[in-house]
A and B are shown apart, each in its own frame.
Chain A
Amino acid sequence: MEEVDRILIHSLRQVGTDVGEDVESVKQFTSELIVEAVVRCLRVIDPSLGSGLSHLLPPGMSARFRLGMSLAQACQDLGYKGEIGYQTFLYSNEPEIRSLLMFLVERLPRESAEASDQPAGKSVLLQKAIADQIKAQLAIPWLPPTCRLPLQCKTQSRGPCHRFYSQPLSVPYSLKVPQNKQSKEVKEYYRDFLPVVTAQPSQPISVPASLLEHHAAELSAAQEWELEWNSQGLLSRLTPEEYRSRKRTRLQRRIEEQLRVAAQPRPDSQGAQRSTSDLAELLQSFGGASAGGDVLTKGTRFTHTEKFTFTQEPEKSAQQMAAAASSMPSSRQSEEDLRAQQQEEIAALQQQLHQLSVQMEEVGGDMRQLATSINQVTEELKELEKSKSRKEDLVKVKKQTIDLLPDGQNNLVKLQSLVDASVKRLESLKAQWEKHKAPLLEEQCRLNELCSDQEVESSRMLAEIKELHDKIRQSAEEAKKKEALYKQLLTEYEKLPKDVSRSAYTMRILEIVGNIKKQKEEITKILSDTKELQKEINSLTGKLDRTFAVTDELVFKDAKKDESVRKSYKYLAALHENCTQLIQTIEDTGTIMREIRDLEEQIETENSKKTITNLEKILEDYKAIRQENSTLAAKIKEA
């Protein structure tokens, strides 16, 4: 009981009830305390129910009565099953109060414990860190700039800020070329000339930014490679180097195609002809480039065309400048002459230009015509060559037959025999080939099967590898999560208040559970004993009745003849009668004892309800209400 009371008092204190320090048990609760406790609990459980009730017991009796009724109503609304009325609050007794308070305390909303079951995600941790930092900064009072000492400058304002500016760094190792394959010159450069990495950026302030950026780039490249290798690389069943080189050639080919498509010659732009020739050179250089090296030479079409057009143009513009300089008028010539001269020049140049363009077109046309005629002629040449070779063959055959003609008959026979021999040879070769073919076919089938088996095997192993990868990843994640959870719970545990010892409670609970188990066992034992006794009693009474009936008959038969037998029969009947009475009295004593025990218990409970004091209080309050009623009636009469 004390434990229950302590827990109740602790929870009530947490809700906000002002329970005094010396109040140890529910027996010592006064009516005011009870009302305050109940109202505060109601306010926490359901604000709408509890908001209309004040937690102080009003002095007037009718107000008190009203408050008691509304509290009882509210508790019943919550679902309290026991009997409750205004008397529970105003004229309280211990068991009722205890059960009511237990019911309310159980209904108090629990702090959600789910949040601490899962490890807080990274964003939640970050939020918490931010909140802590903001709290710390809000706690520092602000000083105006004129009052700041240099010591406090850091906490008051941010200090000079620079943008995040990173510069690429050169590192003394190469990620793509392993160390033993680096050339001697490169190694020498790394050793003697490469500046230290903190001295490489142009401003010392961008050193951290550059270093962090470099590191993040390496990390993300490694992660992307992992991802790609695990998803596509393993499937392609190549070694990493082969996979990488295949990817590189594929990308090069795609770039070539795109550039080729974009560089189709357009008839309207004059500069296009120059650019396509340069582009063709560029594409050739793609095809011939070696697969090694760190950087893929990607020249955009535009930079190359720019390069080439501008190399032409500076020459042209230089020539033009020289021409213009030579024709620069001297200061003596008038402006109109100058203008007229310029106009003439312009006209002359335009005519030249026109002529030149016409010439160029003619020349272009001629070139095309000549090209087509060249094509035609080469084709004719090819055809003539073919016919020539055919005719040569014919001539050879005819020559041979002419040579063989003089000795006609013999040659005919010889030729016939040759033909027969060759036919026979053909057949024998065919047979040999068939003989050879069969085992080779078998061999081929066998190897095919082997190949397919191996493929099946390798795909199965790939699937296993993938599974293992997934499992590894999952268990690594779980381990990380559990570690984070452990750290978080540790910090929370240190933060938790230690006033209520949970281990004592758990031990008590376990003890109580053990006790209850023992009691249950004892009760079952007693019950079984009682049952056995009852059975015995039943069987004995049965036996008794039967024996008495038999003896009765026996004796009665003889009683008619003999006097002593009659007397003994009378004694038997009296004995039986007395014994039955005795048994009856014993049973009655037993029931009466039980009733006594019950009544004693009831007396105890009634005593603890302090009914007498409550009745006295009720009488007093009744008198007070009557007085109030009379005063109110008097007031009404006056008014």
Chain B
Amino acid sequence: MELSESVQKGLQYLADAVHFDLKSFSAFTEVAFGSLVSRSECGLDHPQLNHIDQSVLKHCHIATTTFILEGVKQNADKSTLSSCLEDVSFDAERIDVFYSSYQHHKRSLETLLESIGGSPPHVTDVLWRLDYCIKNSHVHKVNQPSYLISFHVENGDCGTSSKEVNFNCTMEQLQDLVGKMKDAAKSLEKATQS
């Protein structure tokens, strides 16, 4: 896991017992994780952190939050995280404190990162109707079936909003669509085997 120089410097400040003793380190870790996970805006005023120089504190805050996000992004295991922290001269106690908070918040951080990006709506239900056109104003005899399909889709949240996608297609187009969906399912299964 690669970290830029400023992040490493910030983490070195954190490792330094001159700036942060163990209690303020644990308080700081909690504050850092909390600032990422909670939606409300919270500052860095915690009673145990008031004696530290604020610009150093802010630097460490940036470094820690960047480090946490990089770790969750790469799904780093304990050995990677520990080796990175040991490179910036963390001692084993601080690494343990950090890692336990990391484990505790990992799921919500993963949800946070997963929510970045977009996904098309998911189809949940299908209603169809088969029409048969006998004749129309241009042609005396048509005699062709056609399908009216309505997909119920949901997007994002579970079940609150449900929209509909309606369309009309001939039998060949519907066969084409079903064929393509089967192909898609097969290629997914193939992807799991390779």
From A131, A163, A169, A219, B2 is in contact (CB under 8 Å) with A219
> Which residues of chain B have C-beta atoms less than 8 A from A214's C-beta?
66
Q: How far is the CB of A139 from chain B (nearest CB, A)?
A: 10
> Which residues of chain B have C-beta atoms less than 8 A from A131's C-beta?
191-194
> Which residues of chain A have C-beta atoms less than 8 A from B157's C-beta?
157, 159-160
Q: How far is the CB of A203 from chain B (nearest CB, A)?
A: 10
> Which residues of chain A have C-beta atoms less than 8 A from B106's C-beta?
none
Q: A134-171: which residues lie under 8 A (CB-CB) from chain B?
A: 134-135, 138, 144-146, 148, 150, 153-154, 156-164, 169, 171
A199→B58 CA distance, assembly (Å): 12
Q: Are B156 and A138 in contact (CB under 8 A)?
A: no
A148→B111 CA distance, assembly (Å): 19
From B3, B58, B124, B154, A197 is in contact (CB under 8 Å) with B58
* A173 with B59, Cβ < 8 A, contacts A157-B156, A212-B70 known: yes
Q: Are B66 and A146 in contact (CB under 8 A)?
A: no
* A157 with B154, Cβ < 8 A, contacts A173-B59, A211-B69 known: yes
Asked if B136 is at the interface of the complex by the 8 Å CB criterion, the answer is no
Q: Are A199 and B43 in contact (CB under 8 A)?
A: yes
Q: Are A159 and B58 in contact (CB under 8 A)?
A: no
> Which residues of chain B have C-beta atoms less than 8 A from A191's C-beta?
53-55
User: How many contacts A-B (CB < 8 Å)?
Assistant: 137
* A215 with B44, Cβ < 8 A, contacts A157-B158, A175-B6, A196-B35 known: no
**Taking CB as reference atom, which chain A residue is nearest B154?**
A145
Asked if B103 is at the interface of the complex by the 8 Å CB criterion, the answer is no
The size of the chain B interface, using a CB distance under 8 A, is 51
Asked if B181 is at the interface of the complex by the 8 Å CB criterion, the answer is no
A327→B35 CA distance, assembly (Å): 64
Q: Are B43 and A171 in contact (CB under 8 A)?
A: no
Q: Are B66 and A159 in contact (CB under 8 A)?
A: no
Q: Beta-carbon contacts of B125-153 to A below 8 Å, as 1s and 0s?
A: 10000000000000000000000000000
Asked if A510 is at the interface of the complex by the 8 Å CB criterion, the answer is no
Asked if A192 is at the interface of the complex by the 8 Å CB criterion, the answer is yes
From A173, A208, A219, B69 is in contact (CB under 8 Å) with A208
A196→B55 CA distance, assembly (Å): 10
Q: How far is the CB of A168 from chain B (nearest CB, A)?
A: 13
Q: Beta-carbon contacts of B51-70 to A below 8 Å, as 1s and 0s?
A: 00111001101100110011
Q: Are B116 and A162 in contact (CB under 8 A)?
A: yes
Q: Are B36 and A207 in contact (CB under 8 A)?
A: yes
* A171 with B6, Cβ < 8 A, contacts A145-B154, A161-B116, A187-B55 known: yes
Asked if A346 is at the interface of the complex by the 8 Å CB criterion, the answer is no
Q: Are B59 and A171 in contact (CB under 8 A)?
A: yes
> Which residues of chain A have C-beta atoms less than 8 A from B194's C-beta?
127, 131
**Taking CB as reference atom, which chain A residue is nearest B45?**
A196
> Which residues of chain B have C-beta atoms less than 8 A from A163's C-beta?
116-118
Q: A100-143: which residues lie under 8 A (CB-CB) from chain B?
A: 127, 130-132, 134-135, 138
Q: How far is the CB of B52 from chain A (nearest CB, A)?
A: 11
Asked if A545 is at the interface of the complex by the 8 Å CB criterion, the answer is no
Q: B57-88: which residues lie under 8 A (CB-CB) from chain A?
A: 58-59, 61-62, 65-66, 69-70, 73
A444→B21 CA distance, assembly (Å): 64
> Which residues of chain A have C-beta atoms less than 8 A from B116's C-beta?
161-164, 208-209
From A150, A172, A195, A205, B158 is in contact (CB under 8 Å) with A150
* A161 with B117, Cβ < 8 A, contacts A145-B162, A207-B36, A211-B69 known: yes
Q: Are A134 and B117 in contact (CB under 8 A)?
A: no
> Which residues of chain A have C-beta atoms less than 8 A from B54's C-beta?
190-192
Asked if A11 is at the interface of the complex by the 8 Å CB criterion, the answer is no
From B4, B113, B115, A219 is in contact (CB under 8 Å) with B4
A131→B189 CA distance, assembly (Å): 9
Q: Are A161 and B65 in contact (CB under 8 A)?
A: no
A211→B63 CA distance, assembly (Å): 10
Asked if A497 is at the interface of the complex by the 8 Å CB criterion, the answer is no
Q: Are A172 and B59 in contact (CB under 8 A)?
A: yes
Q: Are B118 and A134 in contact (CB under 8 A)?
A: no
Q: How far is the CB of A596 from chain B (nearest CB, A)?
A: 64
* A144 with B124, Cβ < 8 A, contacts A171-B62, A215-B70 known: yes
* 10 interchain residue pairs of minimum CB distance: A218-B4, A153-B158, A145-B159, A190-B55, A198-B35, A135-B192, A172-B58, A160-B156, A172-B55, A191-B54
